[in-house]
Amino acid sequence: MSPKAAVEQVEAKRAVPEPWLRWLWEQFGTLGVAILLALSIRAFVIEPYRIPSGSMLPTLLIGDHLFVNKFAYGVKIPFTDWRLPSWREPQHGDVVVFTVVRDRLGRIYPADQRPDLESDRFVKRIVGVPGDTVEVRGGVVFLNGQRVPSQETQDTFTDENGRVLRVGREDLDGHPHAILDDPNLTGPEKGPVKLEPGRYFMMGDNRDYSNDSRIWGTVRLAEIKGPAFLLYWSWDWNGGWASLLNPLTWWDLIAHKMRWDRIGHSIR
């Protein structure tokens, strides 16, 4: 065999994958691609979020699972505060998921004020955008000196603790939505505050039982993940995932705990 032919034969052998490498690809290659695709979608397109508390009642119930549109306000580039071009700016009335931080005592801070603390995710409604002056007095929201239109209804809502709350309707700059009011309680108030550029004022729809910007301050655009847009799952379930392995649990979930009528609804 000539030296040239020998070299070509060696190169050809190198081009053929080892059998064990082929076996690994055949067994796990598709799974790996699927996982990479799922992680990419979660990082740049949509992100799931579970509602853990009643601060957004009656709009969002405890046990609702929703998708967040991470494209709407511009995808955030990992490990920076930079965002890609957005479809639109955050607006009054948007229901958004954003990041805050907690200390060991459970106190909440805007994420940019205490970057040393552990992060957490909240969902609230945008009440004020940059340049607005927001005031909350006597359970009423004032925006730029004008009372935000609201009215009482004849409906009531009973929360997870058995409290009977009054249902009202509020219109934030053309975005009507339901709010709750406890007739026996006055929620947190806030004196007039003018929002700085890039900062947003968040409030829960369950006005008397929401830990929001009235207490811990405003949120930067950099911490807003995006608007919530779709309920993909909903159940009245507080148990751990391990208990779902018990088949006796399944019938109770299907028959009594699932909120089938909420699945697929858009969030307004």
Q: Is 257 a catalytic residue?
A: no
As a dihedral over the C-alpha atoms of residue 251, residue 159, residue 268, residue 194, rounded to 10 degrees, the angle is: -150
Taking every pair of Cα atoms in the chain, the longest distance, rounded to a whole number of angstroms, is: 97
Among 128, 110, 127, 131, CA closest to 119: 110
- Catalytic choice (4, 53, 70, 124): 124
| DSSP state at residue 116 | T
Burial class, 99, CB count within 10 angstroms (exposed 0-12 / middle 13-18 / buried 19+)? middle
- Catalytic choice (55, 210, 213, 234): 55
Backbone angles phi, psi at 168, to 5 degrees: -120, 175
Angle, CA 60 vertex, CA 58 and CA 61 arms, to 5°: 85
What tokens appear for 215 in the block? Answer: 């207490």
Backbone angles phi, psi at 97, to 5 degrees: -105, 135
Q: Is 213 a catalytic residue?
A: no
CA distance 28 to 22: 10
User: Which of the residues are catalytic?
Assistant: 55, 124
